[in-house]
Amino acid sequence: MTPPPVLDLDGVAYAYPDGHQALYGVNLQIRPGERVALLGPNGAGKTTLVLHLNGILAAGAGRVRISGLDVTKATLMEVRRRVGVVFQDPDDQLFMGTVREDVAFGPMNLGLRGAELEQRVHEALSAVGMADYADRPPHHLSFGQRRRVAVATVLAMRPEILVLDEPSSNLDPASRRELADILRGLDVTVLLVTHDLPYALELCPRSVVLSDGIVVADGATIDVLTDDALMRAHRLELPFGFDPHALRAQVTARHR
């Protein structure tokens, strides 16, 4: 028997209290070990969708399941352990006095203490190459370093799926590549929410396009990016000089 999908959305719909409907029935399944990009123009409902994955928002209709576990009030704690969300602005995520305390915050909420906690923190910081900065206050780090520590704060909870909201935004090219190397090296299912189409192609074999609150495409990233009609219809524009058609052979070889 195959394991249940890490992420299983079935007809998820949501309207904000002010009446604005953001999601109109989203279906999405992600298998363990996959790296999937969630693409879509501004206002497509990407962030709203992310907030459903760990129960911050509760679906008005439909169902969210994480590794077979329904997201309900009773399962909230376990769901938040399984789904690690890295928000866009690291300053929102890092709020403690030192990097170490910040990375320890999540596992401590899970009840970890002592040597085991210490071990988790070290492991998470090493995974993002920031172990030497454990005792520094987060606001003294560079932006790229803060983003990496933000990833570590979530890794320390050993999530089953890592959800990153615009991880490449505001990073210089070197930090952007370093983060890509780190993400590629992690042994965890990843959902990458992004506008950065080259980044999606580089990291994620599969892409899902969300537009106006529904999934309009779900397939190999290279196929999605080379579907010119689809791209145009949903305001997905490739950056100047970036031609996925020319990269097909290279990408297929890498993702095999």
Partner 1 sequence: MGAGHGHKLHYHGHSWLHRAPAHLKLLALLAFMLLVVATPRLWFPVFGVYLLVLCALVASSGVPPLYLLRRLVVEVPFLVFALVLPFVASGPRTEVLGLSVSAHGLLGAWGLLAKGTLGVLASMLLAATTEPRALLAGLERLHLPTQLVQIMGFMIRYLDVVTEEMRRMQVARESRGFRARNPKHWPVLAKSAGALFIRSYERGERVHLAMLSRGYDGTMPR
Closer CB to partner 1, 146 or 234, in the complex: 146
Among all chains, which residue has been given the structure tokens 């080259």? Answer: 198
Is the distance from CB of 39 to CB of 224 less than 8 angstroms? yes
Is the distance from CB of 214 to CB of 234 less than 8 angstroms? no
Closer CB to partner 1, 24 or 87, in the complex: 87
The neighbour count for residue 92, using CB atoms within 10 Å, is 9
- Least Å distance, CB 90 to partner 1, is 10
What tokens were used for 132?
């030497």
- Least Å distance, CB 98 to partner 1, is 7
- Least Å distance, CB 145 to partner 1, is 7
Closer CB to partner 1, 52 or 65, in the complex: 52
Chain mean position to CA 50: 8
- Least Å distance, CB 100 to partner 1, is 11
Torsion sign, CA atoms 159, 162, 165, 168: positive
Residues that bind partner 1 (CB under 8 A): 51, 54, 56, 77, 80-81, 83-85, 87, 89, 91-93, 95-98, 105-106, 108-110, 137-142, 145, 153-154, 157
Closer CB to partner 1, 116 or 237, in the complex: 116
Q: CA-CA distance, 201 to 203, in Å (whole number)?
A: 6
